[in-house]
Amino acid sequence: VLVVPRRHAETLTDLPADEVGPFFGRVQRIAGAVERGMGAAGSFVGANNRISQSVPHFHVHVVPRNRKDGLRGFFWPRTRYASDAEAARVAGLVRAALDGPAGPAGSPPHGLST
């Protein structure tokens, strides 16, 4: 998931100070939803400032993590969804976890294995 501020800010240092706390509050909420929705043991949360920033608008990556998942530093094994329907299904899992009660990642949701 990419978490992106609505107001344009090229980098974190360009984000107005009064928006940093609320923005990272959303990042925290999304990270929890990604972990619960994807049945992940944890998450990687990261951002680039200019170097390696492919889009000149500040954004934060939230990536589900499990042991031995292949993530090395900021490089995770990137794959494509099998179909648009699969991408929509995964988005639905995260959305449902975002709308549901907060809590630890726990076991995988129905229809998803880790």
- Catalytic residue IDs: 59
Could you tell me if 93 and 108 are in contact, meaning their C-beta atoms sit under 8 angstroms apart? no
Could you tell me if 61 and 2 are in contact, meaning their C-beta atoms sit under 8 angstroms apart? yes
Cα 52 to chain centroid distance, Å, stands at 18
- β-strands 2-3, 60-65: how paired? antiparallel
Could you tell me if 5 and 23 are in contact, meaning their C-beta atoms sit under 8 angstroms apart? yes
Count of alpha carbons within 13 angstroms of residue 95, beta-carbon side: 6
